[in-house]
Structure 1
């Protein structure tokens, strides 16, 4: 029977409106010291531990100078003028403890090239493997940052959206009460669609499962939720390095307490489910046994004998 390995694939957006900086985010992930031209400040994470490698993957039409962290993300900040601009997609993806670090890095690079760069996306990724504290489980993972704004075929920044104007029955544009043309904003890429995220999650699971099979390991990962898999189990929440560091030091956290409750509850559910399954199995065996032909009782034999002789029926045997 195959066992279930770790699957974590989470995506958010880095937003200026939330006080976030693309330069600061990239510096943290790469463990580097980067200067932000937009905020006129320096983000220094050179003392951050656990950064195994950091790399930028570019499509063929991207300017080669974007292979530098500071150049790329300052260009992104400059291209986004809005105070609430959405700057980048940010992915947090778990690696597998069953693979070597070299295998994990190669797998991450293959996944990003086949699923992101092939779509014209620029990819800044970094592999992290925080030091284990006490007897905690290793948590290797990789971070990915991708600019939301695409590049055109000439390597210039393109549009995130295009306008689709609403037309009347005569094919003329419709105006609103203020006299402005009514339109829908349509994304120019499929990068932000739920269907694309689902495709990426499945592609990562398939790639890891292929590697498990190649290594002859009896474990797999599944990108679907427990509910979609038909598994009656409560999912835990992702704790993240800061929470795990606090828990390792004996500091209880809300997320840690919740996950402990989930694990205890799931154990109770599994025990109850196993007991119910055993009871149903026993009832099935009893039913099958009762359905078998039973040997005749003494009373049945006497009744048959007297009926055959034509005599009077005897009193029932107590």
Structure 2
């Protein structure tokens, strides 16, 4: 079953993000940031089908090199909380071959992004998936928010214009000076642009479905926009798709699965963050000299040290070592099930889960709002059922209506 997912976020310094690290992850490469003086190495990442940079005609040719491009952008942004790049995450269609998906992705990037003057660094991922789960091929696109001028130098993202009232007179600020507002120089970040791009991707997918003689279609609109009285589902990951494949399709099941998935993700984020903060830093510091270490190797060394300490206990030494063995086995099994081998992959999974958790929280808020409305309707109906007999008795009285009314008010 075709699944539509077209999500846009920003890479921001205010979130502690580096656009070099983001680009390295998407391309599965090792890139060095001259801005931060550190490398991001994702050369062991699996599932990267392809990665390439598409340049508009006026862009310097050296920006075809990923490290050169994103280092130039980092240095062009001076603000501590600067927005660096737009990040698109777009699901590809399992009904199309990988070659067809790549062709469609390239056409979208060239015709809708690069033709507007944007530089687009895009990659296609086809992640290793759990047994029984549907494939989840998708696109990552990084686009600098700051535009390039025709001479190949970086331009400005916003300009200030005077604020005028309805009569065309200048509006003053609280200090009595001319008020200004910031306006994008490109329109790339506008809501209208996002709506257009989402609709454009919908059209491209549906045209391809029609070309292949398939009846399936996708729709970029939300359930609410389509007038469907239903709590919207989130974009399905591999685990949810595996459940759907078992035939669980009821409306109540959808809501329960949404809540269950949110709780599961929230729990995983809490556990993983705690584990990261308490263990990863220490493991990296102590075992940095190990050539290309894995998380399993880190864990084994860590628990070997814990067992060494446990043997010095006067009491319950064996119990402590048994607990360590159980924790080691459970953690390695979890990492194996999730196809996580390195600290970098674990950190990236945390970011992905945080993003999914944010989307799920939004859906749960909408679901809760609908439930509250339903509760109000149910209460109104209960009140109606309670007082209807009294009203019927009052309506059928020919004499003594006022007396009956006053008696009811006293009660």
Instruction: Name the TM tier (shorter chain).
Output: 0.7 to 0.9
Distance 1:255 1:13, change over 3 A: farther
Distance 1:45 1:241, change over 3 A: farther
Distance 1:134 1:240, change over 3 A: closer
Query: Per the alignment, in what secondary structure is the counterpart of residue 225 of structure 2?
Result: helix
Contact 1:239 1:255 (8 Å CA) reproduced: no
2:391 is matched with: none
Contact 1:11 1:92 (8 Å CA) reproduced: yes
- 2:190 is equivalent to residue 182 of structure 1: no
Using the alignment, how far apart are the partners of 1:53 and 1:128 within structure 2? 7
- 2:71 is equivalent to residue 63 of structure 1: no
Q: Which runs of 5+ in 2 are unaligned?
A: 243-259, 266-356, 368-411
TM value normalised by structure 1: 0.73
The one of 206, 210, 224 aligned to 2:207: 210
Q: Which runs of 5+ in 1 are unaligned?
A: 246-251, 266-318
Using the alignment, how far apart are the partners of 1:148 and 1:93 within structure 2? 18
CA displacement at 1:180 relative to structure 2: 5.5
1:121 is matched with: 118
More strand as a share of residues: 1
1:210-229 residue pairs with structure 2 within 5 A?
210-229=207-226
1:141 is matched with: 138
2:262 is matched with: 254
The one of 58, 73, 76 aligned to 1:76: 73
Cα deviation digits, residues 125-178 of structure 1 (max 9, x gap):
000000121100110000000000001111110000111124699999776455
Query: Per the alignment, in what secondary structure is the counterpart of residue 34 of structure 1?
Result: strand
Using the alignment, how far apart are the partners of 2:149 and 2:13 within structure 1? 23
TM value normalised by structure 2: 0.57
- 2:8 is equivalent to residue 11 of structure 1: yes
Using the alignment, how far apart are the partners of 1:200 and 1:87 within structure 2? 20
1:99 is matched with: 96
- If you compute each CA radius of gyration, which structure gives the higher value, 1 or 2? 1
Cα deviation digits, residues 205-247 of structure 1 (max 9, x gap):
10111111111111111111111122233222246689999xx
Query: More deviation in 161-170 or 110-119?
Result: 161-170
Using the alignment, how far apart are the partners of 2:63 and 2:132 within structure 1? 41
Contact 1:35 1:41 (8 Å CA) reproduced: yes
Query: Per the alignment, in what secondary structure is the counterpart of residue 234 of structure 2?
Result: coil
Using the alignment, how far apart are the partners of 2:149 and 2:44 within structure 1? 37
Question: Which 4+ stretches in 1 moved above 3 angstroms?
Answer: 166-181, 238-245, 255-259
Query: Which one scores higher on RCO, CA 8 angstroms, separation ≥ 6?
Result: 1
1:278 is matched with: none
Using the alignment, how far apart are the partners of 2:165 and 2:139 within structure 1? 49
Using the alignment, how far apart are the partners of 1:242 and 1:5 within structure 2? 16
CA RMSD of aligned residues (A): 3.0
Using the alignment, how far apart are the partners of 1:228 and 1:192 within structure 2? 22
Count of matched residue positions in the alignment of Structure 1 and Structure 2? 253
2:87 is matched with: 90
Query: Per the alignment, in what secondary structure is the counterpart of residue 127 of structure 1?
Result: strand
Contact 1:237 1:255 (8 Å CA) reproduced: no
